Amino acid sequence: MDSSNRPRRDTMNASVLHPPNNWHLSDAVIGNVSLKNPSSLIALGKESLREARRQNQRRYRKKQHDNMVSLEQETNKLQLQIEQLEQRRRAISPTVRGDDCYWSVVVEYFRLFKLGLMEQPSTQQLPSNATPAKDISSAQLNLLWSKLAQDVALNEGRGVDAVIYSWRRASFWFQDFRLELEDLHKEGANALVAVTKTSFTITERTLRNVFPGIWDDRESEAGYALVNKLLGQRIVMRGTTFFEWDPTRSLVSSLIAQSDLLTPVLRLLGCLKDVERVFGKAIISPDFHWTSSSLISCWGCIPSIVRFLG
């Protein structure tokens, strides 16, 4: 290339542009570049801020709208549920009217016996069924004698005396006994099934009276280990209670209960072999029934409790 065609570097006073532009620009060229007015830049910045605010407001309004739509949908759902529950209530109401209605009887049963039999024994021994009725809650006795048939069928035995004696053992041998009604539904024409949660604490009295096999064996290494694993533990069981109603007499004719004692005990002990040892000589079964070997006939050996309505 001819040297005369090359740009004259010596006549230019300018900066060098970054590659790939390597040619010098003259002051004249640079001076001809127009600069924006500072006021225009300020106006542009303000406009950008206004646009950002408008976008924020649009997002906020959309969020509010979405929240309102969601709230309206939830309100409609709740209203529908309320209407459904109201329909169920109207359907049930004719059935549950009257003092002798078995729905009311079952609910009252769990209300009165939620903490077991309300009596305060003064000794460390299980009170016999000859204990005067005044030592038992009159409300509990009233319910049992007025709403249960005298020959009411139980898991073990028959009669109101058997109900009371069963409650006495559970309340006296299991510390902080608690029975909770979680659900109640109809089964057949004259029966109700209650879903329950039962809880209690295992104490020395529990082990000595209910699980005598491991208590008597507590001096051995294996027995000592089992006692230590159980003592002081809070047991929580799920179960059901079946109430059959005799409409001709307006009384409960059958009261069959069972609870899953096996699961919490297995969880505490960790193996079925130990569970088998615990229940081997126990007077209660894994489904929380008093075993036949522990029963005392309520018809022969247990004097009838005097009905107490005062």
> Is the pLDDT at 25 greater than 50, yes or no?
yes
Please give the pLDDT value at position 27.
56
3-state secondary structure of 221: helix
Task: Please give the order of strands across the beta sheet that includes 251-259.
Answer: 148-153, 251-259, 234-246, 191-201, 175-186
In a domain, 193, yes or no: yes
The residue range of the domain holding 166 is 100-294
Residue 22 lies in a domain: no
User: Taking a C-beta distance cutoff of 8 angstroms, is the pair 247, 202 a contact?
Assistant: no
In this structure, what CATH number is given to the domain that contains residue 222?
A: 3.10.450.50
Mean pLDDT of the chain: 79
* % of the chain beyond a pLDDT of 90: 47
- Per residue in 53-84, pLDDT tens? 888 888 888 888 888 888 888 888 888 888 87
**Domain annotation covers residue 79:** no
The pLDDT confidence band at residue 122, using thresholds 50, 70 and 90, is very low
- 289 found inside a domain: yes
Q: What is the DSSP-derived secondary structure letter of residue 15?
A: P
How far apart (Å, rounded) are the C-alpha atoms in residues 138 and 65?
60
Determine what percent of the chain is predicted with pLDDT higher than 70.
72
Q: Is residue 191 part of a domain?
A: yes
Q: What is the pLDDT of residues 241-255, one digit of tens each?
A: 999 999 999 999 999
User: pTM higher than 0.85 for the full model?
Assistant: no
How many domains, the chain? 1
Q: What is the mean pLDDT of residues 269-276?
A: 93
Evaluate whether residue 156 is within a structural domain.
Answer: yes
Q: 180 near 196, Cβ under 8 Å?
A: yes
The label of the residue with tokens 């038992």 reads: 136
Q: Note whether residue 231 is domain-resident.
A: yes
Distance of CA 155 to the CA centre of its chain: 27
- The segment with the largest mean pLDDT, out of 42-46, 128-132, 155-159, 194-198, is 194-198
250 falls within a domain:
yes
Q: Are strands 148-153 and 191-201 parallel, antiparallel or unpaired?
A: unpaired
